[in-house]
Amino acid sequence: MLYRMINPPEISWIAILPVLLLSATAMLTMVADLWTDGPDREGLGWIGLVGLMATAIAAVALWNTKLTSFAGAVVVDRYGLFFTLLFCVAAGLTLLMSMSYLEQTDIRTGDYYSLILFSTVGMVVMATAADLIVVFLGLEVMSIAAYALAGIWRSQVRSNEAALKYFLLGAFATGFLLFGIALLYGVAGTTTLTGIAQTASGATAEQRTLLIAGMALMIVGFGFKVAAVPFHAWAPDVYEGAPTSVTALMAVGVKSAAFAAFARIFMHTLAVMSPDWSAVLWVLAVLTMTVGNVTALLQRNIKRMLAYSSIAHAGYLLVGMVAGGELGGSAILFYLLAYTLMTLGAFSVVIALGRRGQPNENLEDYAGAGFRSPFLGMAMSIFMLSLAGIPPFGGFVGKFYIFSAAVKSGYIGLTVIGVMNSLISVYYYVGVLVRMYMTDGGVEITQPSSRPYLFATLVVAVAGTIALGLFPSTLFEVARQSFLALG
Amino acid sequence: MPLLSLIVFTPLLGAIVLMLMRADQHAALRRGAFLFSLVPFGFSILLLARFTPTEAVFQFTEKAAWIPSFAINYALGVDGISLFLVLLTTFLMPIVVLSGWGDIHKRVKEYMVFLLLMETGMLGALVATDLFLFYVFWEVMLIPMYFLIGIWGGQRHIYAAIKLVLYTMAGSLLMLVAIVYLAVAHQQQFGQYSFDLQRLLEFTLPVTTQRWLFAAFALAFAIKVPMFPLHTWLPDAHTEAPTGGSVILAGVLLKMGTYGFLRFAIPLFPQAAFEAMPLIATLAIIGIVYGALVCMVQPDLKRLVAYSSVSHLGFVMLGLAALNTQGVQGSLYQMLNHGLSTGGLFLAVGVIYERRHTRLIKEFGGLWAQLPVYAAIFMVVMLSSVGLPGLNGFVGEFLILIGAFKAYPTGTAIASSGVILGAVYLLWMYQRVMFGPLDNPENQKLKDLSTREILVFVPLIIMFFVMGIYPKPFLSRMEPSVQATLARLEKKLAETGSSNQVAQR
């Protein structure tokens, strides 16, 4: 009569509605794949898009609530919902661009769509987790799907290499995270975030030592997932080798999800320990920005360049974490939104310039592209300028918020290092525009207007990047409320 | 009627309309761009007509909340300091567009779009009274210039374009940090952020803080001016830029630096600015003499004009550094003069460059015989730049020297040599290009100016004479704002006891 002894926790199904909808969609695509004839799998993408739309609607409907489920292991607050919506946007745009990209690369497998969706499920779980075990669960769901996705282009050696590298290093890093969780559990006697927060606020010297050790290990684990230096070495190879649409999802989705959990745990649960961790993150932020930007200068392959750029952006986000407080937290959320749109946009342009059997991923291939396809040129200019932090685009406002938070918390030195890094980044971002507009080349371009899915992705990303730059205040307010919902 | 918004955003509207047009309709694109550049000029004439000359405060103000959580506003306003710079911009723009009719034959659409986008950026930066908004416009004007040089530029276009961007961004990013710091400091003292210029002018910071913030602002503006030794991007940018780009760069973009000093850096951080003025004056004087000396040995016409900008803007900075009415007013007047004269010089050089595709002085000689109209026009433009009495350049330089002499007698004496050197290098250049034997067979085939090209120069020449003979309407409109700025400065300095030094000026 064992089951009588276990007291099943109360489960609020409404609270996990977004996750349920998303998981159901993922499974549906798996099943629907069996009934799809022919090589074309676009229909699955549409199922995914509808599912993501439903998830987003559910998240919006839950906006004014704060529910917990599974005995407090999952908390659906605005913070989690903000990220849920962010992941819906990221995954939706990824699906849209994939529908064009898979045809171009002959990756004709239905699993692709379900893996993207499962990975998104993992992200949502991470963002709404209120228990370290659930964080770990979400991380694994997300990562395992991402490992598989990195290697899904089976005919390509570099895709296989990416998957293997990502998997081995990822598993190793997850080990660190798990060890950190174990240490925190050892101190607090619980894995719930509320329990750990209580322990941390009244920690004895002995407990503090263990907490610090646990935090250090967790920083390694999260640092790997967000690709912070010195845990970034995997990123360029994986980003270059993985199919471009998967790279896009890794650069925005995986990174945002890791930041969602990272910020929730460190900026909220362990906020009292911030004097201990902020110094470490200060160093990590400086290293990440500098190494990311300086190395990006040397890249010849646009995917590698964007990989290093995404490392650098993790650095700016770490500045937000170091700055802390309401402003730092809201700035991170806003920045991730802007970063998602401009990075997905940039990867869409990379896809748009590729052709069947001819990926055109070297910077030389971009020569003269701006005039041969004015729309692509304009879109890429907007993404590059936004990534470089030049107004009036979303990336600039994001940086403005992050650096304002840092100044407000008194981190002037860090801010100056940050803007000087922005300056370095201008060189390579603008370098892409130099190729596109100021040199001549002859790589043929399929006009994006003949590829409706890709075209739609680009239009959304361009519109979003501009709108975030011109009218940031509404979304910043949403970001602020979301961060404040942490309590 | 939101007159300033109309002035600022009509070019943007024009750029959008042009973007939607077909790229191969060159004639329609050119006319469209010209029309869209005339509209803001018309509006700014209206602005001039409705401007109250006796008031020192911002007029035609507009305000709307933009990012309320940081108290960032879309706030515009114009006073005696910015009024004529707005007019200068809208006045030069149709001229630049018209000059581009002839010498831009590839990618006409993009060229015109970038010109109009840049106009929006420049005008916005001139009328923004919110620091955040100013910064946004400040950066917005940089990118079109980058494209203008990079796409339509000469042989080293990429190098020049990237150098321009990196130099300018290096300064402006630090200025952004300073702006943020200022707003945050305001929040810590008064409980709310402020990017509003007028509010921040009332806000006194500790002198140590001021020094840092002034340094950040001054660096951004000094790069833009450009002041010696931060000027090295300018000759490259000017030389490689297409004619229109050079005119805008010299005519308006460089003024953003001097305008920034007068509008933001000096009033916001008075004590620090006051302390730094001797240094700035020294650098200005070095710039004047150095720029002039380099001009003497320049074999390249465009580079010569570019270095003459370094020299002339040294005068502008020297006038500002004097921190008295004559000096500041003179430098404001000289900003306009330099915009017109140097713009005219670049247009004039552009005319023969377009015909001969060389800018080397030694390739020319004796053009007077072959191109009489051109030579006459070039002469007037050149003399205006020299500062011949009766033409505009004289008034500005004279006022600056009077003002500066009160503050820095020795330095001003040295700087005056720049006036003489200016006459030397410009006249010598003119002599080598226009006089002598017409012995180069290439030059014997040259055609004189077309009607369109003459039309490009006529408005400039009219302005040279108007501003040279009757400067009063300009100066009287500048005076209240300049005096108010200086009075505020004096009051702030009095609070910290450095006032007697100012009184001596």
Residue B139: which of A391, A423, A427 has the nearest Cβ? Answer: A391
The CA distance from A338 to A323, in Å, is 19
List pLDDT tens digits, range A226-246: 999 899 989 999 999 999 999
Question: Which residues of chain B have a CB within 8 Å of the CB of A374?
Answer: 23
Classified as helix, coil or strand, B360 is strand
Residue in B18, B19, B22, B69 to test binding to A, most A beta-carbons within 10 Å: B69
Could A416 and B158 be called an inter-chain contact, meaning their C-beta atoms sit closer than 8 Å? no
List pLDDT tens digits, range A421-461: 999 999 999 999 988 888 887 777 777 777 889 999 999 99
Amino acid letter for position A382: I
Mean pLDDT of A66-94: 92
pLDDT above 60 for B436: yes
* In contact, B115 and B133? CB cutoff 8 Å: no
pLDDT above 60 for A321: yes
What is the pLDDT, as a whole number, of residue A71? 83
β A74-76/B59-67 pair status: unpaired
* In contact, B374 and B430? CB cutoff 8 Å: no
Structure tokens at A290: 């500098």
To the nearest whole number, what is the mean pLDDT of chain B?
89
Scanning B51-79, the segments in alpha helix (DSSP H) are none
Task: Give the pLDDT band of residue A3 (cuts 50, 70, 90).
Answer: low
What is the pLDDT, as a whole number, of residue B53? 87
What is the pLDDT, as a whole number, of residue A175? 93
Could B173 and A423 be called an inter-chain contact, meaning their C-beta atoms sit closer than 8 Å? yes
Residues of A with CB under 8 A from a CB of B: 371, 374, 385, 390-392, 396-397, 400, 403-404, 407-408, 412, 415-416, 419-420, 422-423, 426-427, 430-431, 433-434, 437-439, 472-473, 476-477, 480
Contacts of A337 (CB under 8 A, 6+ apart): A86, A89, A394, A398, A468, A475, A479
Question: Which residues of chain A have a CB within 8 Å of the CB of B169?
Answer: 422-423, 426
pLDDT above 50 for A170: yes
For tokens 């990196």, name the residue. Answer: B166
The CA distance from A390 to A469, in Å, is 10
**pLDDT > 90: percent of chain B:** 44
Amino acid letter for position A8: P
pLDDT above 80 for A39: no
Q: Is the CB of B177 inside 8 Å of chain A's CB atoms?
A: yes
Q: Is the CB of B107 inside 8 Å of chain A's CB atoms?
A: yes
Model ipTM value: 0.92
Query: Cis bond leading into B94, ω under 30°?
Result: no
Which residue on chain A is closest to B155 by alpha carbon?
A: A438
CA dihedral B236, B317, B481, B195 (to 10 degrees): 60
* In contact, A403 and A473? CB cutoff 8 Å: no
Task: Give the pLDDT band of residue B497 (cuts 50, 70, 90).
Answer: low
pLDDT above 50 for B298: yes
Which residue on chain A is closest to B161 by alpha carbon?
A: A434
Question: Which residues of chain B have a CB within 8 Å of the CB of A437?
Answer: 147, 150-151
Range of the domain at B258: 3-503
* In contact, B309 and B370? CB cutoff 8 Å: no
Could B166 and A423 be called an inter-chain contact, meaning their C-beta atoms sit closer than 8 Å? yes
CA dihedral A121, A126, A132, A133 (to 10 degrees): 10
Could B169 and A420 be called an inter-chain contact, meaning their C-beta atoms sit closer than 8 Å? no
Question: Which residues of chain B have a CB within 8 Å of the CB of A415?
Answer: 177, 180
List pLDDT tens digits, range B140-155: 999 999 998 888 887 8
Domain count, chain A: 1
Residue A385: which of B136, B143, B174 has the nearest Cβ? Answer: B143
What is the pLDDT, as a whole number, of residue A5? 65
Mean pLDDT of B347-353: 88
Q: Is the CB of B135 inside 8 Å of chain A's CB atoms?
A: yes
pLDDT above 60 for A2: no
β-partners of residue B130 are B196
What is the pLDDT, as a whole number, of residue B183? 92
What is the pLDDT, as a whole number, of residue A332? 95
* In contact, B370 and B446? CB cutoff 8 Å: yes
Which residue on chain A is closest to B156 by alpha carbon?
A: A438
The CA distance from B29 to B18, in Å, is 7
Domain count, chain B: 1
Contacts of A224 (CB under 8 A, 6+ apart): A169, A170, A173, A176, A231, A234
pLDDT above 90 for B288: yes
- Residues B490, B491, B494, CA angle at the centre, nearest 5°? 85
Residue A404: which of B68, B107, B184 has the nearest Cβ? Answer: B184
What is the pLDDT, as a whole number, of residue B503? 46
Neighbours of A155 (CB within 10 A): 9
Classified as helix, coil or strand, B153 is coil
CA of residue B152 relative to chain centroid, distance: 21
Range of the domain at A428: 2-484
